[in-house]
């Protein structure tokens, strides 16, 4: 039971990270995993994206080389179209320049994101039954 709650908490944190990516910026699957608290779970982020039915901006998530996803609706061309609509230049080889377009949250943005991640984790852990007791603060 605890593993399920943990998995759901990670999914909620991944969704919170993806929702926070600003227009015209991208993150890699690894970046999303790290911000969601599991730096070695890039593949899990990919599976979450692939199975997602929500309206999150998944087109803003690319691979570690800046490559577009074949599993995106419409394939890499569909993802390229969505990114171009936001002003992201997509190269002919269907990659984006990570140095130029990778989102690097400022201190204030990171603080807001961490607050959302904590809230997402709390919502999911309490929804599945009794989770661990809250930390004393």
Residue 22 to residue 17: CA distance in whole angstroms: 10
| Residue 132 belongs to a domain | no
Residue 85 structure tokens = 């609509």
Pick from 53, 106, 86, 109: nearest CA to 62: 86
* Cα 17 from Cα 40, distance rounded (Å): 16
Answer whether residue 133 is part of any domain. no
| Residue 33 contacts residue 40 (beta carbons within 8 Å) | yes
Tally of domains in the chain = 1
Q: How do residues 76-122 score in pLDDT, each as one tens digit?
A: 999 999 999 999 999 999 999 999 999 998 888 888 888 888 887 67
Q: Flag whether the pTM goes above 0.75.
A: yes
Strand-pair category, 27-28 with 61-62: parallel
**Alpha-carbon distances of 114 from 107, 110, 118, rounded to whole Å:** 10, 6, 6
Rounded CA Rg of the chain = 16
Residue 136 lies in a domain: no
Q: What is the CATH number of the domain that holds 68?
A: 1.10.10.10
87 domain residue, yes or no: yes
In a domain, residue 115? The reply is: yes
Per-residue pLDDT tens for 30-75? 999 999 999 999 999 999 998 888 899 999 999 999 999 988 888 9
Residue 137 lies in a domain: no
Full residue range of the structural domain in which residue 11 is found: 2-127
């Amino acid at each position: 039971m605890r593993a399920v709650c943990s998995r759901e908490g990670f999914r909620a944190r991944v969704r919170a990270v993806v929702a926070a990516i600003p227009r015209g910026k991208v993150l890699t699957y690894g970046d999303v995993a790290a911000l969601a608290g599991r730096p070695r779970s890039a593949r899990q982020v990919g599976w979450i994206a692939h199975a997602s039915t929500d309206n999150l901006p998944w087109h803003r998530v690319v691979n570690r080389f800046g490559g577009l996803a074949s599993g995106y609706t419409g394939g890499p061309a569909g993802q390229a179209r969505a990114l171009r609509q936001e002003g992201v230049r997509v190269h002919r080889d269907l990659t984006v320049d990570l140095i130029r377009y990778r989102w690097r949250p400022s201190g204030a943005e990171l603080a807001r994101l961490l607050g959302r991640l904590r809230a997402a984790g709390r919502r999911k852990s309490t929804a599945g039954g009794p989770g661990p007791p809250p930390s004393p603060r």
